[in-house]
Each structure stands twice: as C-alpha cells, then as structure tokens.
Amino acid sequence: MNSKNEDPTVDLSWKRYILPPVHKEGYPFIFCFGIATILLFMMGQVFFLFSWLGYLSLLLTIFTFYFFRNPERVTPQGESLIIAPADGIVSNIVEKVPPSEIDMGTDPLIRISIFMSVFNVHVNRCPVSGTIHKINYRPGKFISVQDKDSEDNEREEYSVITKNGIKVGFVQIAGLVARRIVSFVKEGDSLIAGERFGLIRFGSRLDVYLPKGIVPKVVLGQVAVAGETVLADLKGQQEAIRGEKQ
C-alpha cells in the first residue's frame, strides 16, 4: 500500500532518467538525424569514411533527443508563488525597466535572468497562474546572452495578470546558437503556474520581471529548475491589494 505522501503516478523507474518524454518540436530533427545515420552507415559498407560520419550523426541524434526532452515537473502549490520558467543558472539579478509592449509600467523592476546552456531542458513553463495579458515578438540578432543585456537579440515578451490583478512579466531571448523561439500560447489564454508555454531551440535565456516591492528568493549562481524552483513570493502584495479593496 502506498503511504499518503507517495503518488503512484510518479515514475521512479530508470526510464525517468534514460528515456524521458520528448517534445514534439524535436521529432523532425531526430527523424532527419536518424535517417542520415542509417544512410551513412549503409554507405560505410563501400567507403570507410562514411562509417565515421555515421558515428558522428548517431551522436547528433542522441544529443537532439536529449535536448528536446520534456520531463514532468512537480510545481509547488501556492497562488502567490513565482516559479522559475526555465532550467539553468541564475545569471543576473538587476533592476531594469520592463519592455513597454507588455504594459508593466515605466519604473525599474527587479529582473531575474536564467541562462540556459545547450545541456538544459529548453521547454519553458509559466511562472504564475493567470491570464496572458500581452505577447510581443521582437526580431533581432543571435549573440551571446550569458552576461549581457542583449537588447538586440530576438525575443518573445509576455505579461500575465494573476486573479488578484498583479502583473508578472517574462521574456524568452534567443542566444548565440538558438535560431527559433516557439510559443504555444496567445493573448487571453489562462495558464497555471508550471504549465508549458513555449521553448527555445539550442541555448538561450529567460528573464522574469518581478512586481514592484517583491524580493527575490534566489541568488546569483543558483541552479533553477523550470516549474519547481521558487523565484519569489507575491504574498505581501496580494495582501496589500486585498486591504485596499476592503
């Protein structure tokens, strides 16, 4: 019999680590590399060099499978929590004015940046529960996003309004290797914290703009896990809003 703290639906087998689910965005890449691998090994029967290229293609196929992995996550419960939208390292915590297109005002807000290397899971998750208020796509360059503000990079900008009327902003930024930002949502969609909203292919960054007065619960260099790591807590601001309404 399972204890009350055990969830029988949680996969604790080896498949959780060796064969995680793969996002459908990765299927075309895996298929192409897989076909190339088979052809190269077949051609290697005639010319030895093709066998070596086949091994290289096999490695690329395995890496692509690994890159597009889409594991299940367990999101902490609490409507006031802001959750990490991406796997990676907290690379920057600064005050910046959020993009005007997402309607979060003109005052500087704390921005938490999470840098994703090519080895991180690249499926992104909504940091709070609420309704998508604004989405803005901005075309741009593909340069390193690890240590710079990268204002010229391609990006997708979002703001979400919680049921208490608080806005939280977040931005997908394409990096040096990334070549496409993929969004699964549109303005007006309702999401819950930890729900998948998009992905970025091959190395990038996620920025989260905290509402005014909210203090981060993470530090520079900390490892963030999408859908699980708590970045901040809106509790104080939610209570203030309730007090104003009363």
Which tens digits make up the pLDDT trace of 164-178?
999 999 999 886 654
pTM of the model: 0.81
Separation between Cα atoms, residue 60 and residue 58, nearest integer Å: 5
Separation between Cα atoms, residue 198 and residue 173, nearest integer Å: 12
**Mean per-residue pLDDT for 76-85?**
93
- Secondary structure E strands in 101-213: 109-116, 123-125, 130-138, 155-161, 167-174, 181-183, 190-191, 196-200, 204-209
Q: Which residues are catalytic?
A: 204
Tokens 């977040």, residue located? 170
pLDDT value at position 1? 37
Separation between Cα atoms, residue 86 and residue 70, nearest integer Å: 12
The lowest-confidence range among 28-32, 95-99, 144-148 is 144-148
Of these ranges, 3-17, 18-32, 134-148, the one predicted with the greatest mean pLDDT is 18-32
Contact 30/57 with Cβ under 8 angstroms?
Answer: no
Reported as a pLDDT band with limits 50, 70 and 90, residue 3 is: very low
27-43 vs 48-67: helix crossing angle, rounded to 10: 160
**Mean per-residue pLDDT for 40-54?**
82
Sequence-ordered list of residues with C-beta below 8 angstroms from that of 161, at least 6 positions apart, any chain: 130, 131, 133, 167
- Mean pLDDT score of the chain: 84
Separation between Cα atoms, residue 91 and residue 112, nearest integer Å: 8
HEC per residue, 60-121: HHHHHHHHCECCCCCCCCCCCEEECCCCEEEEEEEEECCCHHHCCCCCCEEEEEEEECCCCC
Task: Give pLDDT tens digits for 108-135.
Answer: 999 999 998 888 888 999 999 999 999 9
Q: Which two tokens stand for residue 245?
A: 């309404």
Reported as a pLDDT band with limits 50, 70 and 90, residue 41 is: confident
Reported as a pLDDT band with limits 50, 70 and 90, residue 203 is: low
